[in-house]
Structure 1
Amino acid sequence: MWNIAQRNLKIYFRDRSAVFFSLLAVFIIIGLYVLFLGDNLANSLKDAGEYAKPLVNNWIVAGLLAVTSITTTMGAFGIMVEDRAKKMLKDFAASPIKRSSLAGGYILSSVFIGIIISIVALILIETYVVVDGGQLLTLLKLLQVLGIIVLSVISGTALVFFLVTFFRSQNAFATASTVIGTLIGFITGIYIPIGSLPDAVQFVIKVFPVSHAAVLFRQVFMEQSMADAFANAPAEVSKSFQETMGVTYSFGDFTVSPLMSILVLLATTVIFYLLAILNLSRKNK
């Protein structure tokens, strides 16, 4: 398993274009916020005064990291699709390597790649925040963010692994990757505050597993800036802001807790790994 994972890691990081395109979504979204969306969001939060910019920046950071957990693992699983297209999976199957070790190698390498690229994205984004006048994360918050990165990448890997089991050609996978990479930001709620969207769209975002990673990231990144901005405001104002910006999710009077968001990601991991294994087993019969 580890040998397969090492091989995939070497292939991935040797291809500089693959690494670049894994980070391309980060660059594009940062560009959109710097040029267009950032100022519009900050202007819509004029009541927050000097804290409007930190609130927006931290909101952006959280959404970017959630999206990165999907886009990077898709790039990593491209190696598996390429191997299948080149019939290399059949060669592996004819070797002493167990099928479980082979699948485990692809999963392990994708998790490592997702975590590494997400950490690189975190460094780039935090650099942008500091240059824009923000503050670095404290050590405790950094550890929390790293923990959420690991959880979101593992969950994203399971989701992408299941999708990859349906692809046998590189062209089909590349097309799907482009479509998913384009849509993921919308269905995770990182371009427009969720409170500005119709109820039906809000529901789709709230039940989409990756969006729960975004919620967890927002709660860590925005905690201090929200405390500063709403220090003298009624609790209802802060609650309304959190629901509008997707810092918390509510279904009627029920509010989703951080623990429940973690459980959603864990359940997603288990369910989609099992579905992927079942699909692979069915195809191998």
Structure 2
Amino acid sequence: MLALIKRNCRLYFRNHSGVLLSLLSAGIAFVLYLVFLKAGMHREWSQLPQTNQLLDSWLIAGILVLTGISTTLAGLGQLVSDRERQVDRDLLLTDVGPVRLELSYLVSATIVGIVMQLAMFAGMWGYFSFTDGLRFSGAQLLDVVGLMMISAGLATVVNALIIARIHTIDNFGKLATIIGTTTGFLVGLYLPVGSLPTTAQTLVKLTPESYAASLYRQILMNDTLNTVFAHISIAQNDFERLMGVRINWSGLLTASQTYQIICYILVSCLLLVLIPVWRQQLQWRR
């Protein structure tokens, strides 16, 4: 299985144009923020100190999630390609088995998602550190890296579930375009969650990766929020609800509750992906 994971990762990173295209939606969101959104949002929150640091951290969180979704989906493109060209059947002639073959695609896509999130984080942090003096502590960085692993795993299993019935690269490309277009809205990146209509807010809450975005925001914005809203918990709660720092389900979710929801979704989606493959393996052994 390790050889298959290496193969899938190599095929992804060798395709330089594909790597760049998988980052396109994240790059567009970053440019849109700098050119169009930042000035308006800065005016809206200009009464707060450290506005740039708050908004920069908020953006980084959203783009990390968007990067995880788009790059893990691109990583799973190899699964669809092998399925279309029936390479997966050739691989099954070895002793790998359907379950381990499926896991190799999932693990390699997760690795791709982690690596590309690290690259985007380094680039964005470097830029905002130079322009706005953005700083993060060592503890924050460790938490972010840990969350990258969870977020990439979550994005991978959700994407794998979505593409389960996709058998051609052409259809996969069309689906990837739709996902790349809508994801920015569904994780509260282009517009703050609290400013959306009620129906749209419900869609955000039903999007698994919106919970990862919430955790990223809590980690990256925590120190600044505590400084800006020191001893004003009501104002901080209002800000966190509006900006999607914490998801509101009859009250703002804590970080612990959000992690639990992510774990439930991740395990459920993983089982939904693997159970049909496990059944296939039982038939294959017969």
Q: TM-score, normalised by structure 1?
A: 0.94
Matched, 1:28 2:28: yes
Contact 1:111-1:157 at 8 Å conserved across structures: yes
Contact 1:165-1:279 at 8 Å conserved across structures: no
1:174-189, aligned counterparts within 5 Å?
174-189=173-188
**Post-superposition CA distance 1:153-175 (Å, at most 9, x none):** 11111111112221100000000
Aligned partner of 1:242: which letter?
Answer: E
Matched, 1:258 2:259: no
Contact 1:243-1:249 at 8 Å conserved across structures: yes
User: Which residue pairs with 1:195 in the alignment?
Assistant: 194
Question: 1 CA distance for matches of 2:39 and 2:11?
Answer: 40
Contact 1:26-1:64 at 8 Å conserved across structures: yes
1:119-198, aligned counterparts within 5 Å?
119-198=118-197
Aligned partner of 1:14: which letter?
Answer: R
User: Which residue pairs with 1:45 in the alignment?
Assistant: 45
User: Which residue pairs with 1:278 in the alignment?
Assistant: 275
Question: 2 CA distance for matches of 1:164 and 1:206?
Answer: 22
CA positional deviation for 1:82 = 0.6
User: What are structure 1's unaligned runs of at least 5 residues?
Assistant: none
User: Which residue pairs with 2:95 in the alignment?
Assistant: 96
Aligned partner of 1:201: which letter?
Answer: A
CA positional deviation for 1:215 = 0.5
SS state at 1:173 partner: helix
Question: 1 CA distance for matches of 2:134 and 2:169?
Answer: 42
Contact 1:51-1:228 at 8 Å conserved across structures: no
Contact 2:194-2:201 at 8 Å conserved across structures: yes
Alignment partner of 2:241 out of 234, 240, 243: 243
Contact 1:66-1:213 at 8 Å conserved across structures: yes
CA positional deviation for 1:152 = 0.6
| Deviates further, 221-230 or 153-162 | 221-230
Q: Percent sequence identity over matched residues?
A: 27
User: Which residue pairs with 1:225 in the alignment?
Assistant: 224
Q: TM-score, normalised by structure 2?
A: 0.94
**Post-superposition CA distance 1:230-281 (Å, at most 9, x none):** 236x3211111111111112223x3211111111111111111111123445
Aligned partner of 1:24: which letter?
Answer: L
User: What are structure 2's unaligned runs of at least 5 residues?
Assistant: none
Question: 2 CA distance for matches of 1:36 and 1:279?
Answer: 46
CA positional deviation for 1:283 = 7.3
SS state at 2:50 partner: helix
**Post-superposition CA distance 1:106-163 (Å, at most 9, x none):** 1111111111111001101101211222323111100010011111111111111112
SS state at 2:191 partner: coil
Contact 1:73-1:110 at 8 Å conserved across structures: yes
Superposed CA RMSD: 1.6
Aligned partner of 2:16: which letter?
Answer: R
Stretches (4+) displaced over 3 A:
278-285
SS state at 2:23 partner: helix
Contact 2:99-2:274 at 8 Å conserved across structures: no
Matched, 1:56 2:51: no
CA positional deviation for 1:22 = 2.0
Question: 2 CA distance for matches of 1:231 and 1:165?
Answer: 48
**Post-superposition CA distance 1:191-239 (Å, at most 9, x none):** 111111112211221232100000000011111222232236x321111
